[in-house]
A = this chain, B = another copy of it.
Amino acid sequence: MSELYHVLGAKQFTKDELEQLFDNAMEMEKVVASGGTRAQEGRIMTTLFFEASTRTRLSFESAMHRLGGSVIGTENAAQFSSAIKGETLEDTIRIVSGYSDVIVMRHTDIGAAKRAAKVASIPVINAGDGAGEHPTQALLDAYTIRKEFGYIDGLKIAMVGDLTYGRTVHSLSYILANYQNVMIYYISPDNVRIPDNVKRYMDEKGIRYVETDDLDAVAGSIDVLYQTRIQKERFPSVEEYEKASGKYIVDGELMSRLGKQTIVLHPLPRAGEITEEVDDDPRAAYFHQAVNGLYIRMALVNKCLGEARK
Protein backbone atom coordinates (compact mmCIF):
# COMPACT_ATOMS: atom_id res chain seq x y z
CA MET A 1 0.00 0.00 0.00
CA SER A 2 2.84 2.38 0.75
CA GLU A 3 3.83 2.30 -2.90
CA LEU A 4 0.54 3.73 -4.19
CA TYR A 5 0.98 6.78 -6.38
CA HIS A 6 -1.55 9.45 -5.42
CA VAL A 7 -2.08 12.87 -7.02
CA LEU A 8 -2.94 15.11 -4.10
CA GLY A 9 -1.37 18.53 -4.57
CA ALA A 10 0.74 20.56 -6.92
CA LYS A 11 3.66 20.72 -4.50
CA GLN A 12 4.32 17.01 -4.73
CA PHE A 13 5.98 17.19 -8.15
CA THR A 14 9.67 17.63 -8.91
CA LYS A 15 10.80 19.18 -12.16
CA ASP A 16 11.90 15.78 -13.44
CA GLU A 17 8.51 14.29 -12.69
CA LEU A 18 6.79 17.21 -14.41
CA GLU A 19 8.90 16.91 -17.53
CA GLN A 20 8.30 13.15 -17.65
CA LEU A 21 4.57 13.69 -17.21
CA PHE A 22 4.47 16.31 -19.97
CA ASP A 23 6.35 13.98 -22.30
CA ASN A 24 3.85 11.24 -21.51
CA ALA A 25 0.95 13.63 -22.14
CA MET A 26 2.48 14.47 -25.52
CA GLU A 27 2.53 10.75 -26.21
CA MET A 28 -1.15 10.54 -25.26
CA GLU A 29 -2.02 13.12 -27.92
CA LYS A 30 -0.67 10.71 -30.48
CA VAL A 31 -2.54 7.81 -28.90
CA VAL A 32 -5.85 9.70 -29.09
CA ALA A 33 -5.19 10.84 -32.65
CA SER A 34 -4.62 7.25 -33.71
CA GLY A 35 -7.83 5.98 -32.12
CA GLY A 36 -7.03 5.38 -28.44
CA THR A 37 -5.54 2.35 -26.76
CA ARG A 38 -6.79 -0.66 -24.77
CA ALA A 39 -3.88 -0.39 -22.32
CA GLN A 40 -6.19 -0.04 -19.30
CA GLU A 41 -8.84 -2.51 -20.46
CA GLY A 42 -10.36 -4.24 -17.46
CA ARG A 43 -9.41 -1.43 -15.09
CA ILE A 44 -12.10 0.70 -13.43
CA MET A 45 -12.03 4.36 -12.43
CA THR A 46 -14.46 5.63 -9.78
CA THR A 47 -15.36 9.30 -10.13
CA LEU A 48 -16.53 10.36 -6.70
CA PHE A 49 -17.81 13.92 -7.03
CA PHE A 50 -19.16 15.28 -3.77
CA GLU A 51 -19.66 18.51 -5.70
CA ALA A 52 -20.62 18.77 -9.37
CA SER A 53 -17.89 19.69 -11.81
CA THR A 54 -19.11 18.31 -15.07
CA ARG A 55 -16.22 19.42 -17.22
CA THR A 56 -13.57 17.97 -14.92
CA ARG A 57 -15.51 14.75 -14.48
CA LEU A 58 -16.10 14.31 -18.23
CA SER A 59 -12.43 14.97 -18.89
CA PHE A 60 -11.35 12.24 -16.48
CA GLU A 61 -13.96 9.82 -17.75
CA SER A 62 -12.92 10.48 -21.34
CA ALA A 63 -9.28 9.90 -20.34
CA MET A 64 -10.15 6.51 -18.85
CA HIS A 65 -12.19 5.47 -21.88
CA ARG A 66 -9.47 6.61 -24.30
CA LEU A 67 -7.17 4.28 -22.36
CA GLY A 68 -9.61 1.39 -22.80
CA GLY A 69 -10.79 1.37 -19.18
CA SER A 70 -14.24 1.60 -17.59
CA VAL A 71 -15.82 4.15 -15.29
CA ILE A 72 -18.28 3.99 -12.42
CA GLY A 73 -19.21 6.98 -10.35
CA THR A 74 -21.56 9.44 -8.88
CA GLU A 75 -22.00 13.09 -9.66
CA ASN A 76 -23.64 14.33 -6.55
CA ALA A 77 -22.77 14.18 -2.90
CA ALA A 78 -26.37 14.83 -1.97
CA GLN A 79 -27.24 11.60 -3.73
CA PHE A 80 -24.50 9.56 -2.10
CA SER A 81 -26.92 7.87 0.17
CA SER A 82 -24.28 6.57 2.54
CA ALA A 83 -23.01 10.07 3.25
CA ILE A 84 -26.58 11.08 4.03
CA LYS A 85 -26.77 8.22 6.51
CA GLY A 86 -23.75 9.61 8.29
CA GLU A 87 -20.97 7.55 6.78
CA THR A 88 -17.50 9.03 7.11
CA LEU A 89 -15.47 9.85 4.02
CA GLU A 90 -12.96 7.27 5.23
CA ASP A 91 -15.53 4.45 5.23
CA THR A 92 -16.78 5.44 1.77
CA ILE A 93 -13.23 5.38 0.42
CA ARG A 94 -12.44 2.02 2.05
CA ILE A 95 -15.42 0.46 0.33
CA VAL A 96 -15.03 2.11 -3.06
CA SER A 97 -11.41 0.93 -3.00
CA GLY A 98 -12.77 -2.57 -3.34
CA TYR A 99 -14.83 -1.76 -6.42
CA SER A 100 -12.27 -0.09 -8.65
CA ASP A 101 -8.61 0.60 -9.45
CA VAL A 102 -8.34 4.37 -9.08
CA ILE A 103 -10.49 7.02 -7.38
CA VAL A 104 -10.92 10.50 -8.82
CA MET A 105 -12.40 12.63 -6.07
CA ARG A 106 -13.88 16.10 -5.94
CA HIS A 107 -14.81 17.31 -2.48
CA THR A 108 -15.92 20.48 -0.76
CA ASP A 109 -13.44 20.23 2.12
CA ILE A 110 -9.78 21.23 2.13
CA GLY A 111 -7.61 18.19 2.78
CA ALA A 112 -10.29 15.66 1.80
CA ALA A 113 -8.06 14.09 -0.85
CA LYS A 114 -5.29 13.51 1.67
CA ARG A 115 -7.74 11.94 4.11
CA ALA A 116 -8.97 9.67 1.32
CA ALA A 117 -5.45 8.65 0.30
CA LYS A 118 -4.67 7.70 3.88
CA VAL A 119 -7.24 4.88 3.94
CA ALA A 120 -7.52 3.99 0.26
CA SER A 121 -6.05 0.73 -1.00
CA ILE A 122 -5.92 2.17 -4.54
CA PRO A 123 -4.55 5.47 -5.92
CA VAL A 124 -6.50 8.68 -5.30
CA ILE A 125 -6.45 11.64 -7.68
CA ASN A 126 -7.54 14.98 -6.25
CA ALA A 127 -9.94 16.64 -8.69
CA GLY A 128 -10.35 19.64 -6.41
CA ASP A 129 -10.84 19.80 -2.66
CA GLY A 130 -12.73 22.92 -1.75
CA ALA A 131 -10.57 25.99 -1.35
CA GLY A 132 -7.60 23.63 -1.26
CA GLU A 133 -5.95 22.40 -4.43
CA HIS A 134 -6.80 21.34 -7.96
CA PRO A 135 -3.50 19.85 -9.08
CA THR A 136 -4.60 18.35 -12.39
CA GLN A 137 -5.82 21.77 -13.54
CA ALA A 138 -2.43 23.27 -12.70
CA LEU A 139 -0.67 20.44 -14.51
CA LEU A 140 -2.69 20.97 -17.68
CA ASP A 141 -2.06 24.73 -17.43
CA ALA A 142 1.68 24.18 -17.18
CA TYR A 143 1.56 21.53 -19.89
CA THR A 144 -0.16 24.00 -22.20
CA ILE A 145 2.53 26.60 -21.55
CA ARG A 146 5.32 24.12 -22.22
CA LYS A 147 3.59 22.86 -25.34
CA GLU A 148 3.05 26.34 -26.76
CA PHE A 149 6.60 27.56 -26.06
CA GLY A 150 8.51 24.28 -25.91
CA TYR A 151 9.85 25.22 -22.45
CA ILE A 152 8.83 27.00 -19.24
CA ASP A 153 12.17 28.23 -17.90
CA GLY A 154 12.54 31.96 -18.25
CA LEU A 155 8.93 32.77 -19.13
CA LYS A 156 7.04 35.81 -17.83
CA ILE A 157 3.61 34.74 -16.67
CA ALA A 158 0.79 37.02 -15.56
CA MET A 159 -2.03 35.62 -13.44
CA VAL A 160 -5.04 37.90 -13.54
CA GLY A 161 -8.26 38.16 -11.55
CA ASP A 162 -9.31 36.75 -8.20
CA LEU A 163 -6.01 35.49 -6.82
CA THR A 164 -7.29 34.94 -3.28
CA TYR A 165 -10.06 32.42 -3.90
CA GLY A 166 -9.03 31.13 -7.34
CA ARG A 167 -7.24 27.95 -6.29
CA THR A 168 -5.95 27.23 -9.80
CA VAL A 169 -3.48 30.14 -9.60
CA HIS A 170 -2.15 28.82 -6.31
CA SER A 171 -1.60 25.33 -7.68
CA LEU A 172 -0.11 26.70 -10.89
CA SER A 173 2.30 28.84 -8.88
CA TYR A 174 3.53 25.74 -7.03
CA ILE A 175 4.12 23.96 -10.35
CA LEU A 176 5.95 26.92 -11.89
CA ALA A 177 8.16 27.18 -8.82
CA ASN A 178 10.08 24.17 -10.15
CA TYR A 179 11.33 26.10 -13.17
CA GLN A 180 14.35 28.36 -13.64
CA ASN A 181 14.14 32.07 -13.94
CA VAL A 182 10.37 32.39 -14.35
CA MET A 183 8.81 35.74 -13.48
CA ILE A 184 5.23 35.90 -12.22
CA TYR A 185 2.95 38.94 -12.28
CA TYR A 186 0.10 38.61 -9.80
CA ILE A 187 -2.46 41.08 -11.12
CA SER A 188 -5.61 41.58 -9.09
CA PRO A 189 -7.89 44.07 -7.37
CA ASP A 190 -6.66 44.93 -3.91
CA ASN A 191 -9.24 42.84 -2.06
CA VAL A 192 -8.45 39.56 -3.80
CA ARG A 193 -4.63 39.54 -3.85
CA ILE A 194 -2.45 36.44 -3.91
CA PRO A 195 -2.27 35.00 -0.37
CA ASP A 196 0.78 35.27 1.83
CA ASN A 197 1.33 31.53 2.02
CA VAL A 198 1.68 31.35 -1.75
CA LYS A 199 4.12 34.25 -1.73
CA ARG A 200 6.13 32.62 1.07
CA TYR A 201 6.36 29.43 -0.97
CA MET A 202 7.59 31.34 -4.00
CA ASP A 203 10.11 33.17 -1.84
CA GLU A 204 11.45 29.92 -0.49
CA LYS A 205 11.84 28.57 -3.99
CA GLY A 206 13.53 31.78 -5.13
CA ILE A 207 10.85 32.65 -7.67
CA ARG A 208 10.58 36.30 -8.68
CA TYR A 209 7.13 37.84 -8.67
CA VAL A 210 5.46 41.23 -8.74
CA GLU A 211 2.09 42.18 -7.33
CA THR A 212 0.15 44.87 -9.12
CA ASP A 213 -3.35 45.87 -10.06
CA ASP A 214 -2.29 47.26 -13.42
CA LEU A 215 -2.64 44.79 -16.28
CA ASP A 216 -2.10 47.45 -18.92
CA ALA A 217 1.34 48.31 -17.58
CA VAL A 218 2.69 44.78 -18.01
CA ALA A 219 0.65 43.61 -21.01
CA GLY A 220 3.40 44.30 -23.50
CA SER A 221 6.12 42.40 -21.71
CA ILE A 222 4.53 39.07 -20.71
CA ASP A 223 4.65 35.68 -22.41
CA VAL A 224 1.54 34.21 -20.82
CA LEU A 225 -1.66 35.92 -19.72
CA TYR A 226 -3.51 33.55 -17.40
CA GLN A 227 -6.97 35.03 -17.01
CA THR A 228 -9.43 33.90 -14.30
CA ARG A 229 -12.92 34.76 -13.17
CA ILE A 230 -13.72 37.40 -10.58
CA GLN A 231 -16.73 36.51 -8.50
CA LYS A 232 -19.28 39.16 -7.65
CA GLU A 233 -19.79 37.85 -4.14
CA ARG A 234 -16.23 38.70 -3.12
CA PHE A 235 -16.94 42.44 -3.36
CA PRO A 236 -18.74 44.71 -0.88
CA SER A 237 -20.92 46.24 -3.60
CA VAL A 238 -21.88 45.69 -7.23
CA GLU A 239 -20.20 48.99 -8.12
CA GLU A 240 -16.87 47.92 -6.72
CA TYR A 241 -17.16 44.54 -8.42
CA GLU A 242 -17.84 46.11 -11.78
CA LYS A 243 -15.05 48.58 -11.37
CA ALA A 244 -12.62 45.80 -10.47
CA SER A 245 -13.64 43.20 -13.00
CA GLY A 246 -14.00 45.69 -15.84
CA LYS A 247 -10.33 46.53 -15.58
CA TYR A 248 -9.24 43.03 -16.54
CA ILE A 249 -11.37 42.10 -19.50
CA VAL A 250 -9.36 40.54 -22.30
CA ASP A 251 -10.79 41.95 -25.51
CA GLY A 252 -9.53 42.91 -28.95
CA GLU A 253 -8.11 46.14 -27.60
CA LEU A 254 -6.05 44.38 -24.95
CA MET A 255 -4.93 41.74 -27.45
CA SER A 256 -3.51 44.53 -29.60
CA ARG A 257 -1.18 45.43 -26.76
CA LEU A 258 0.04 41.90 -26.05
CA GLY A 259 3.19 40.59 -27.72
CA LYS A 260 2.96 38.61 -30.95
CA GLN A 261 3.92 35.37 -29.16
CA THR A 262 2.01 35.98 -25.94
CA ILE A 263 -0.63 33.32 -25.26
CA VAL A 264 -3.90 33.74 -23.38
CA LEU A 265 -5.04 31.00 -21.01
CA HIS A 266 -8.17 30.59 -18.88
CA PRO A 267 -9.19 27.59 -16.76
CA LEU A 268 -12.78 28.03 -18.01
CA PRO A 269 -15.70 28.39 -17.78
CA ARG A 270 -15.44 32.05 -18.62
CA ALA A 271 -18.20 34.56 -18.04
CA GLY A 272 -17.20 37.70 -19.89
CA GLU A 273 -13.55 38.01 -18.78
CA ILE A 274 -12.49 37.12 -22.32
CA THR A 275 -14.73 38.41 -25.09
CA GLU A 276 -15.67 36.16 -27.97
CA GLU A 277 -13.87 38.35 -30.50
CA VAL A 278 -10.63 36.99 -29.03
CA ASP A 279 -11.53 33.35 -29.81
CA ASP A 280 -10.18 33.41 -33.37
CA ASP A 281 -6.90 35.07 -32.42
CA PRO A 282 -4.06 32.53 -32.81
CA ARG A 283 -2.78 33.60 -29.39
CA ALA A 284 -6.02 32.44 -27.72
CA ALA A 285 -4.96 29.08 -26.27
CA TYR A 286 -7.77 28.44 -23.78
CA PHE A 287 -9.67 25.92 -25.88
CA HIS A 288 -6.47 23.96 -26.62
CA GLN A 289 -5.83 24.20 -22.90
CA ALA A 290 -9.15 22.46 -22.13
CA VAL A 291 -8.34 19.57 -24.45
CA ASN A 292 -4.86 19.33 -22.95
CA GLY A 293 -6.62 18.31 -19.74
CA LEU A 294 -7.51 15.06 -21.45
CA TYR A 295 -3.90 14.20 -22.28
CA ILE A 296 -2.57 15.15 -18.86
CA ARG A 297 -5.24 13.08 -17.17
CA MET A 298 -4.52 10.09 -19.39
CA ALA A 299 -0.85 10.37 -18.46
CA LEU A 300 -1.74 10.64 -14.76
CA VAL A 301 -4.05 7.63 -14.87
CA ASN A 302 -1.31 5.59 -16.55
CA LYS A 303 1.13 6.76 -13.90
CA CYS A 304 -1.27 5.72 -11.10
CA LEU A 305 -2.23 2.36 -12.61
CA GLY A 306 0.91 1.33 -14.42
CA GLU A 307 0.66 1.03 -18.15
CA ALA A 308 0.57 -2.69 -18.67
CA ARG A 309 -1.34 -5.16 -16.61
CA LYS A 310 -0.51 -8.24 -18.67
Binding site for B on A (CB under 8 A): 35-38, 41-44, 46, 52-55, 57-59, 61-62, 65-66, 68, 70-76, 79-82, 85-87, 91-92, 94-96, 98-100, 229, 268-272, 287, 290-291, 294, 309-310
**4 A-B pairs with least C-beta separation:** A98-B291, A87-B269, A86-B271, A62-B99
A305 to chain B, nearest CB (A): 11
Measured in the bound complex, the distance between the Cα atoms of B40 and A42 in whole Å is 12
Closest CB of chain B to A274's CB: distance in Å?
Answer: 10
Copies in the complex: 3
With contacts A62-B72, A79-B54 taken as known, whether A87 is within 8 angstroms of B290 at the C-beta atoms is no
| Cα distance, A71 to B74, chains bound together (Å) | 14
**A44 touching B72, Cβ below 8 Å:** no
Instruction: Assess whether A82 is in contact with B269, with CB atoms less than 8 Å apart.
Output: yes
A52, B66: Cβ atoms closer than 8 Å: no
Chain B, Cβ-Cβ closest to A59: B99
Q: Report B-chain residues with C-beta under 8 Å of the C-beta of A95.
A: 55, 268, 287, 290-291
Across the interface, which residues of B come within 8 angstroms of A57, CB to CB? 74
Known: A85-B269, A86-B271, A91-B268. A70 touches B79 (CB 8 A): no
Q: Which of B44, B58, B98 contacts A65 (CB 8 A)?
A: B44
Q: How far is the CA of A38 from the CA of B82 in the complex (A)?
A: 31
With a CB–CB cut-off of 8 A, which chain B residues contact A70? 65
Q: Would A309 and B35 count as touching, CB distance under 8 A? A: yes
The interface residues of chain B lying within 8 Å CB-to-CB of A81 are 52-55
Question: What separation, in Å, do the CA atoms of A287 and B121 have in the docked complex?
Answer: 12
Instruction: Please give, as numbers and ranges, the residues of chain B lying within 8 Å of A269 by CB-CB distance.
Output: 82, 85-87, 91-92
The answer for the CA separation of A128 and B291 in the assembled complex, in Å, is: 27
A66: B residues at CB distance < 8 A: 42, 44
Q: Give the chain B neighbours of A92 by CB distance below 8 A.
A: 269
Looking at A43, A70, A92, A310, the one whose CB has the most chain B CB atoms below 10 A away is: A70
CB distance from A259 to the nearest CB of B (A): 25
**A294 CB contacts on chain B under 8 angstroms:** 98-99
Closest B residue, CB atoms, query A77:
B54
Could you tell me the distance between the alpha carbons of A76 and B74 in the complex, rounded to whole angstroms? Answer: 11
List, in ascending order, chain B residues with CB within 8 A of A37's CB.
42
B85 touches A62 (CB 8 A): no
Other than the given A36-B42, A54-B74, 10 more pairs (CB < 8 A) read: A36-B43, A38-B42, A44-B65, A55-B82, A59-B99, A75-B75, A87-B270, A91-B268, A91-B270, A95-B268
A80 and B68 within 8 A (CB): no
Q: Please report the C-alpha to C-alpha distance between residue A309 and residue B37 in the assembled complex, in whole angstroms.
A: 13
Most buried by B among A92, A268, A272: A268
Q: Which of B46, B53, B62, B94 contacts A100 (CB 8 A)?
A: B62
Knowing A98-B294, A287-B94, say if A72 contacts B61 (CB, 8 Å): yes
Contacts of A46 in B (CB 8 A): 58
